[in-house]
Structure 1
Amino acid sequence: MSEIGLIANGAVAVAGDEILAVGASDEIVGRVELAENCDVISAEHHVVTPGLIDPHTHPVFVGTREAEFEMRVAGKSYMEIAQAGGGIRATVRRVREASDEELYAAAHKTVTSLLAHGITTIEAKSGYGLSTEAEIKSLEVIRRLNELEPIDLYPTFLGAHEVPDEYRDRRADYIDLVIKEMIPAVAAKKLALFCDVFCEEGVFTIDESRAILEAARAAGMELKLHADELKSTGGAELAAELGAVSADHLMFISDTGIEKLAASHTTAVLLPGTTFALGSEKAAPARTMINKGVIVALSTDCNPGSSMTESLTMIMT
């Protein structure tokens, strides 16, 4: 985490869409012959960086949920809004109603904005379909965007983002649907590299999350986990136990969770935009994690309800 790869007084030589050389200015000037029509751009007092990587986004959605901000200002919690039919399930209803082209157009707008903010690689989740048909529709939009746009998308299946309305009284049946139908269908079409679960009180328990993730791993997917966002539930510990690629959010990570992540190769993906948007006084203990040896990354958590931003540079501040 302390090796940032800084090149002071650096230079980049570019021809067309190819980067020819990167290094100290004196070195590059000595190595590269400039054509007469070459553009020389001074970036003095600025930073030149490779394309940014956003490791946690939800770009496939229709509509936004700004009305929920007013509810939060009035004192409603994230879970109270969700239990009243808002939150993730509100977006699910919009996504299910949308045609393939409407969903693609909306996602294209979001992805284009991410690219305009300097982000050239994103992890892109489904999770606003919550039915086999709608989850596949969302993942196919991600595949289409990846084929057509100058940005790399790494798809994540997030069928366990929430329990949909029609399964509120049959959550065990929904978990069976995710494990026995959704995961095999997604794997058969090779639509996702990763599987994620929202492991949180009132959403999916530790045991439920483990069962879903183990099924996904058996189907050939790498694992990710929304963990310890609203309460400390042991999500970080589960991510480390299963060898997940990442544990995300972690605002309420326990000391044990930090120790387990530090002893693992699991990256802690922190989402300060969500902390800000939810008006939370509790932030993920980034400095403590770094000091303990945890691998830490930052992300926008770009989504329509709790972090409607495409600016990773803002997140860095």
Structure 2
Amino acid sequence: MLIHSAAQLLTPSAQPQRGSRMGELSIIPNGAVLIEGETIAAVGESADLLRRYPNEERYDASGHAVLPGFVDPHTHLVWASDRAAEFEMRLEGKTYMEIMTAGGGIQSTVNATRSASTAELIAQTARRAQDIFALGTTTAEAKSGYGLEWTSELKQMEVLLELDRQGPLEIQPTFLAAHAIPSGFGDRPDAYVQQICAQMLPELKNWWERHASKRPLPFVDVFCEKGAFSLEQTRLIFTTAQELGFPLKVHADEFENIGGARLAIEMGAVSADHLVKTSPEEVRLFGSSSTAAVALPLTPFGLNELEYTPAKAIIAANGLLALASDLNPGTAWCGNMQFVIALACRAMHLTPAQAITAATINAAAAIQREEQLGSIHPGKQADLLVLRVDDYRHLAYRFGGNLVKDIFKKGRLYQNPC
């Protein structure tokens, strides 16, 4: 298919952008894209591609901006039930950690998720997957973490692989058994850490090699935070995971700085996420690191907090900045990357071009998929969005709606009902 006559065709660089280059969208007015199968075959001006490929099926994008599909590199997509009551508690003055200590928070969702059948989890998660796909997310990282014991954690991984198989949303799974200290281990957290290292991670690798051997190993993530997993515990889990060949991710500096970002950089993690309390010294470390700094602006928004990831400082330090939604039932039940872009521009002072870059090619790098996803270049996967508007800046200018008209995923056209 030949997509032609796009008012703006956004072709950010094929590799992640840092520093002063952050936000280079390389816009082609009246642009065109040729898709062959699941892959982008050619990119250029419409007059040229229409002349070279006169017999291709055509999609007229006149009056519309076309850009890469959004990559969301941090979601908690699979869970059961909700935590609406806790939202009310926060409005009454309870903090996230106070709710968690009282038995709410993650443990509340753990109880519901453990009780749900695989079929129930697939049904609930599939609806969320469909929703975020309609909003322009064509690939999403998605974590386990609402089981906190092997059987339930594995059940979530099975759900993620099945939903990836069903599509159209492409899912990159992450194993997050180290999301919280489960009930029964409150006074002996090291015993749970030992269970993750000695039992869960080896069993996960064996299971993955039997059931998903054609895929890369999933990420292993840890919530490194006061009240969750200490720096020492995180290092132990990371070391075990790394020895088994798993790539690493970390939740760090969301509420307090205990050194999680520094550890992630030291150990070569693919990304460190949240980074609200990251120190200026640690921000500078991202500039000489391959570890992506993933900002999740919906989380402080959802918690009604005023402090956000220091995104401009990360860019100034030459760090690799990405954006994600943190879709989850407790603090940010929202997977709308369009709203993430709009909020990042307001709360973290990114330009629209920088925010789109952080949600496409840089976000792809945060899940090690920059060679296949995140930009419109020949040889990459044909994941594209056709907007209802002719100027990409409306993605930041407007908020609360859906500006995605149509979606191409692996070359297939999905007409958006929203």
Calculate the TM-score normalised by the size of structure 1: 0.94
Alignment equivalent of 1:231, drawn from 240, 256, 266: 256
Q: After TM superposition, give the deviation of residue 299 of structure 1 in Å.
A: 0.4
Deviation at 1:151, TM superposition (A): 2.4
Provide the residue aligned with 2:244 in structure 1: 219
- Once the two structures are superposed, the pairs formed by residues 236-251 of structure 1 within 5 Å of their partners are 236-251=261-276
SS of equivalent to 1:224: strand
Identify which of 44, 47, 51 aligns with 2:69.
Answer: 51
Q: Which residue of 1 aligns with 2:28?
A: 8
Give per-residue Cα distances to partners, 1:239-266, cap 9 Å, x unaligned.
1011000000000001121122222100
User: Given residue 32 of structure 2, which amino acid in structure 1 is its aligned partner?
Assistant: A
Map 1:139-150 onto structure 2 (within 5 A).
139-150=157-168
Deviations 1:58-84 (A, max 9, x none): 111011212222111211111011111
1:45-100 CA-partner distances (Å, limit 9, x unpaired): x4211221110011110112122221112111110111111111110000000011
State the alpha-carbon separation in 2 of the partners of residues 274 and 28 from structure 1. 43
Aligned residue runs from structure 1 range 79-94, under 5 A: 79-94=97-112
* Residue 203 (structure 1) aligns with: 228
Corresponding position of 1:68: 86
Q: Which residue in 2 is equivalent to 1:180?
A: 198
| 1:21 corresponds to which of 42, 55, 60 | 42
Name the amino acid aligned to 1:27.
Answer: D
Aligned mates of 1:11, 1:170 — CA distance in 2: 59
Q: Counterparts of 2:76 and 2:44 in 1: how far apart (Å)? A: 35
Task: Note if contact 1:224-1:239 (Cα within 8 Å) is conserved in structure 2.
Answer: yes
Contact kept, 8 Å, 2:293 with 2:322, in 1: the verdict is yes
Distance in 1, matches of 2:203 and 2:127, equals: 27
How far did 1:310 drift? 1.5
* 1:155 shift after superposition: 1.1
Work out which structure has the larger RCO, using CA pairs closer than 8 Å and 6 or more positions apart in sequence.
Answer: 2
Distance 1:15 1:292, change over 3 A: closer
- Name the SS of the counterpart of 2:74 in structure 1: strand
- Give the match for residue 40 of structure 1: 60
RMSD: 1.7
CA pair 18-219 structure 1, distance change in 2 beyond 3 A: closer
Between the aligned residues of both structures, percent identity stands at 41
3-state DSSP class of the match of 1:12?
Answer: strand
- Partner of 1:153, secondary structure, is strand
Deviates more, 1:243-252 or 1:306-315: 306-315
Aligned length: 314
Determine if the alignment matches structure 1 residue 117 to structure 2 residue 120: no
Distance 1:31 1:63 in 2: 53
Partner in structure 2 of residue 270 of structure 1: 295
Task: Sort the Cα spacing of 1:129 and 1:288 in 2 relative to 1 into closer, same or farther, 3 A.
Answer: same
1-side partners of 2:59 and 2:322: how far apart?
35
Give the TM-score normalised by structure 2: 0.72
Residue in structure 1 matching 2:285, options 256, 260, 274? 260
Are the counterparts in 1 of residues 286 and 317 from structure 2 also a CA contact under 8 Å? no
**Unmatched segments (≥5 aa) in structure 2:** 1-16, 343-418
- Higher-helix-fraction structure: 1
Shift of 1:29: 3.0
